[in-house]
Amino acid sequence: MSRRGNSRNLANDSITTADIEKYIQQQSDFAFEMEILQIIKRKCSYASSWGGVYFDPQTRKQREYDIRTELRLNYNLEKVLKLAIECKNFKPNYPLVISCTPRIEQEQKIDVWHWGSNAQYERQFCCPTSFYQLNGWVGRSLDQVGKDSNSDLIIEDNSTYDKWTQALASLHGMLEDALSYNASDGYDYLVFLPLIVVPDGTLWQINYSAEGQRAGDPKQVDSVNFWIDVEYLIKHDSRSEYYNISHLHFLTKKGLINFLDNEPVLLNAFCRY
C-alpha cells in the first residue's frame, strides 16, 4: 500500500531500487503518461509533443501539458483532429465515477475550423452533429470513489478537475497556435478535442433517465463523453475567432486505442464536410 504524505511522515530507511521500481509500477503519473505516449506514436504518425510548457489564460501562469498530437484521417488528409491529452494514473481502489443522463438536441454540437478563401480559418458551427448522438449518455457529474480502513466511502473530485482544466487550457494553446498559421499547412478542416486518459478498469459510469431515475447498474466502461460547453475567444495579432468545446472525452487506455482506430466515427466530427 502507498499514499501521499509529507516529509514529517518519512521513515529513516533509505529508499532502495525496489522502492523506486514499486513507485514506477504503482504511483508514477509520468510512467503511465509514457505508456500513453507510445500509443500516440503508433497511432498518430504526425506531429506530437509532450511535457511542454504553455501559458494558462485562466491562472495566468506557466503550466506543463502531457501530450499534444494530431490525427490526420487516412483517406481525408485535409481533415485533422487536434488532441490535447492529459493522463491521470488512477487506481482500481480509487476509480473515477461519472454520472450521466441522455444528451439533448441542443448538446449535439461541434465546432470545425475551415481554411477559407481569405487565407485564414473560418468557423463552421455544426448543430446537430452525429459525432455526439441524440439521447447518447453524456456525463454531468464526476467523483473519485474509494474506501477507508473502516469501509467508509472517500469521495473527491479536485484532482480530476485539475486534470480536465489542464486539458482545456492546453487546447486553448493549440487553438492560438492554429490561428497564428500563415498558411493552412495542409489542413482544410480542423477539430479540437480535449482527452483525459486513465488506466483500464478505473472508469465507471452511472446512468440516469431524463426524469432522474436510475437506468441500470453502475458499470465499468472504456469511454465517457462529459458535457462542458466552453467557448473561447482566440486572438492573434489583429485576428480573432471563437471556438466552442462542447464535450470532454474520458477514455481508458483501451478506450483511447479504440477511439484512434475508429475512423468512420471520427469522420463524423467533420459533419457535412
Q: Which of 213, 238, 199, 216 is nearest to 96 (CA)?
A: 199
Answer whether residue 266 shows pLDDT above 50.
yes
Answer whether residue 2 shows pLDDT above 60.
no
> Any idea which of 35-44, 62-71, 79-88, 183-192 has the lowest mean pLDDT?
183-192
Task: State the Cα–Cα distance between residues 98 and 68, nearest whole angstrom.
Answer: 25
Per the model's pLDDT, the better-predicted residue between 57 and 100 turns out to be: 100
Cell for 254? 483501451
What are the tens digits of pLDDT across the range 85-132? 999 999 999 999 999 999 999 999 999 998 877 777 888 889 899 999
DSSP 79: E
pTM listed for this prediction: 0.87
Confidence of residue 7 (pLDDT cuts 50, 70, 90): very low
Task: State the Cα–Cα distance between residues 231 and 223, nearest whole angstrom.
Answer: 23
Q: Give the side-chain half-sphere CA count within 13 A for 70.
A: 18
Confidence of residue 4 (pLDDT cuts 50, 70, 90): very low
257, 223 Cβ separation under 8 angstroms: no
What are the helix (H) ranges across the chain?
A: 17-26, 29-43, 158-179, 253-261, 263-267
pLDDT for position 197: 97
- Peptide bond just before 128 cis, omega within 30 deg: yes
Write out the H or E segment, with its range, that includes residue 206: strand 203-207
97, 143 Cβ separation under 8 angstroms: yes
Output the average pLDDT for the chain.
85
Answer whether residue 199 shows pLDDT above 80.
yes
Answer whether residue 192 shows pLDDT above 50.
yes
Share of the chain above pLDDT 70, in %: 84
DSSP 172: H
Confidence of residue 1 (pLDDT cuts 50, 70, 90): very low
pLDDT for position 205: 98
Task: State the Cα–Cα distance between residues 196 and 54, nearest whole angstrom.
Answer: 18
Task: State the Cα–Cα distance between residues 52 and 65, nearest whole angstrom.
Answer: 6
User: How long is the chain?
Assistant: 273
Q: Which of 27, 18, 5, 160 is nearest to 91 (CA)?
A: 27
What are the tens digits of pLDDT across the range 160-182? 788 888 899 899 989 988 888 76
* Strands 67-72 vs 48-50: parallel, antiparallel or unpaired: antiparallel
pLDDT for position 238: 77
Burial degree of 243 (CB within 10 A; 0-12, 13-18, 19+): buried
Task: State the Cα–Cα distance between residues 260 and 257, nearest whole angstrom.
Answer: 5
155, 141 Cβ separation under 8 angstroms: no
Task: State the Cα–Cα distance between residues 212 and 36, nearest whole angstrom.
Answer: 36
Confidence of residue 272 (pLDDT cuts 50, 70, 90): low
Beta-carbon contacts of 90 under 8 Å, excluding residues fewer than 6 positions away, are 96, 144, 198, 199, 202, 203
